[in-house]
Amino acid sequence: MLRPRIIPCLLVKDRGLVKTVKFKDSKYVGDPINAVRIFNEKEVDELTVLDIDASVNNREPDYTMIEHLAAECRMPLCYGGGIKTVEQAQRIFGLGVEKIAISSVVIHDPSLVTKIADRVGSQSVVVIIDVKKKLLGGYEVYINNGSKATGKSPFELAQAIQEYGAGEIVINSIDNDGMMKGYDTVLARKMREAVTLPLTILGGAGCLEDIGGLINKFGIIGASAGSLFVFKGIYKAVLINYPGSEEKDHLIKSNFNY
pLDDT single digits (tens) 140-164 = 999 999 999 999 999 999 999 999 9
Query: What is the helix (H) or strand (E) element at residue 26, kind and residue range?
Result: strand 24-30
What's the predicted TM-score (pTM) here? 0.95
Domain residue spans of the chain: 5-253
- pLDDT at residue 20, rounded to an integer: 96
Residue 175 among the catalytic residues: no
Q: What is the pLDDT of residue 258?
A: 40
Q: What is the mean pLDDT of residues 14-18?
A: 95
**pLDDT bucket at 249, cuts 50 / 70 / 90:** confident
Give the three-state DSSP class for 25.
strand
Q: Could you report the per-residue pLDDT of 81-113, keeping only the tens digit for each?
A: 999 999 999 999 999 999 999 999 999 999 999
Q: Mean pLDDT, the chain, as a whole number? A: 94
Q: Taking CA 69 as the corner, what is the angle to CA 63 and CA 74, rounded to the nearest 5 degrees? A: 140
For 5, residues 6+ apart whose C-beta sits below 8 A from its C-beta are 45, 46, 200, 221, 222, 223
Handedness of CA 242, 243, 244, 248 (dihedral sign): negative
**Dihedral sign computed on CA atoms, order 94, 99, 105, 111:** positive
List pLDDT tens digits, range 24-35: 999 999 999 999
- Reply yes or no on whether the pLDDT at 235 is more than 90: no
pLDDT of residue 190: 97
Which of 130, 177, 184, 210 does the annotation list as catalytic?
Answer: 130
Cα–Cα distance, 204 to 225 (Å, whole number): 7
pLDDT at 254 over 80: no
- pLDDT band for 250, please (50, 70, 90 cuts): confident
Judging by DSSP bridges, how do beta strands 148-149 and 139-143 pair with one another? antiparallel
Residue 56 has pLDDT above 90, yes or no: no
**Burial level of 254, CB count in 10 A (0-12/13-18/19+)?**
exposed
> What whole-number percentage of the chain has pLDDT above 90?
87
pLDDT(117) > 60: yes
| Residue 219 binned pLDDT confidence (cut-offs 50, 70, 90) | confident
pLDDT at 256: 55
Report the topology of domain 5-253: TIM Barrel (3.20.20)
pLDDT at 246 over 70: yes
Helix 32-41, helix 63-72: angle, nearest 10 = 20
Please compute the mean of the pLDDT values over residues 13-22 and round it to a whole number. Answer: 96
Residue 171 has pLDDT above 80, yes or no: yes
